[in-house]
Amino acid sequence: YRGYPIEQLAENSTYLEVAYLLLNGELPKADELAVWEKTIGSHAMVHESVRQFLDGFRWGSHTMGMLVSVLGAKSTFYPDSRNISSPELMELHTARLVSKVATVAALCYRHSRGLPYIYPDASLGFCENFLNMLFNSPNTKYEPNPILVKALEVLFILHADHEQNCSTSTMRGIGSSLADPYSSTAGAAAALYGPLHGGANEAVLKMLMEIGDVKNVPSYIERVKSREVLLQGFGHRVYKHYDPRASIVKQTANEVFEVTGRNSLIDIAMELERIALEDDFFVSRKLYPNVDFYSGIIYQAMGLPVDMYPVLFAIPRTAGWLAQWKEMMHD
């Protein structure tokens, strides 16, 4: 990102620092970070009527479908976002989106489960607040485990941006008509939804559950090779080698399991990887695990439902989309 190796950022930075880096070209100094964190915290509330129109969605609706709709609807709350003529307005709506996407994502999750909504808490860090909005409850106090907060920071950092992929191109395509950034972000999120892109983490989990046992891995690999199914979480348009983000995710999985207990699906995933990396079908096509191969296993261990996985991709990618949109608008 902006010349920094991803490993270095995952090790030393928070997601909000990385979002600042993507949007501004350099990591924030201490005073800049303090202002940025405060700004993001101050924008985290959403208008109460968002809750009302969320109520129009069926109970159990897919959270990504709701997120796409609510992001688009947000443009109606900010009419001046349709006329991004000043750098100040661009900055304002960028900060709003980076912040509010997490609140909206949490509201979608709570609605889909029929749970009462939890308001954002500006005294918490971005990821801590997000976990709090997901899991706190009026009758049982939730305290996010710092190791899980750190894991989420790392996953958000890894997912924050990645070149001119499907959703980023959509952001730029819609933004090029001078549509407001809420509508462009909704379009980008819709592009992310598909299983070949940000929906892959959800597809991986479903695949692992379908395989069900390590002993069934060889027969699944045969189905992939006969082109009956895809090996979800493998292959990448840019990487024709091991995706550097996948190595970090794998390492993060072990740290999360120390807290949550081991997710047995990782054994199936590791066996799929072992066989695939030795098999000429995958080797000759340069197919390696990508960022989504192990991320769903972590999210599941953290207690997050499968339909939230693309949403968890969309939250940090919003910073990347906006950085690309901003670059295009300035160009």
Q: Smallest distance, Å, CB 95 to ligand CMC?
A: 25
Q: For tokens 């892109």, what's the residue? A: 197
Q: In Å, how far from its chain's centre is CA 70?
A: 16
Considering beta carbons, is residue 94 or 290 the nearer one to ligand CMC?
A: 290
In the list 236, 295, 300, 319, the residue contacting ligand CMC (rule: CB under 6 A) is 236
- Positive or negative torsion for Cα 118, 153, 168, 224: negative
**What values do phi and psi take at 36, rounded to 5?**
-60, -45
Shortest Å distance, C-beta 284 to ligand CMC: 9
Residue 62: active-site member: no
3-state secondary structure of 289: strand
List the one residue from 125, 233, 316, 320 that touches ligand CMC (CB under 6 A). Answer: 233
Binding mask 73-102 for ligand CMC (x = CB under 6 A): ------------------------------
Using CB under 6 A as the binding rule, whether residue 189 contacts ligand CMC is answered as no
DSSP 74: G
Binding-site size, ligand CMC (CB under 6 A): 20
Name the active-site residue from 62, 236, 243, 307. 236
Of the residues 292, 307, 330, 331, only one is catalytic, namely 292
**Closer by beta carbon to ligand CMC, 163 or else 327:** 163
Q: Of 197, 241, 280, 330, which one is the catalytic site residue?
A: 197
> Is residue 196 within the footprint of ligand CMC (CB under 6 A)?
yes
Active site residue 330: no
How does 66-75 read in b/e, with b if 16+ C-beta sit within 10 Å? bbbbbbbbbb
What CA–CA distance (Å, rounded) separates 83 from 109?
31
Q: What is the closest distance, in whole angstroms, from the C-beta atom of residue 16 to ligand CMC in the complex?
A: 22
Instruction: Point out which span in 56-64, 106-114, 224-232, 294-302 binds ligand CMC (CB under 6 A).
Output: 224-232
Backbone CA torsion sign across 118, 124, 128, 129: positive
Q: Does 197 bind ligand CMC (CB under 6 A)?
A: yes
Give the integer Cα–Cα distance in Å for 136 and 329: 39
Q: Tell me which stretch binds ligand CMC (CB under 6 A): 10-18, 213-221, 234-242, 303-311.
A: 234-242
162 scored as a contact of ligand CMC (CB under 6 A) = yes
Residue 236 appears among annotated catalytic residues: yes
Strand partners, 289: 234
CA distance 233 to 200: 6
Which of 155, 211, 231, 266 is close enough to bind ligand CMC by CB under 6 A? 231
DSSP string, 136-147: --SSS-----HH
Closest approach of ligand CMC to the CB of residue 283, in Å: 11
- Which pair of structure tokens corresponds to residue 76? 């109606």
Rounded Cα distance, 260 and 301, in Å: 6
Burial class (CB in 10 A: 0-12, 13-18, 19+), 222: exposed
Q: Considering the rule CB under 6 A, would residue 205 count as an interface residue with ligand CMC?
A: no
Residues in the chain: 331
Q: Tell me whether residue 196 or residue 283 sits nearer to ligand CMC (CB atom).
A: 196
Return residues touching ligand CMC (CB under 6 A): 162, 165, 196-198, 200, 224, 230-237, 285, 287, 290-292
As annotated, the active-site residues are: 197, 236, 292
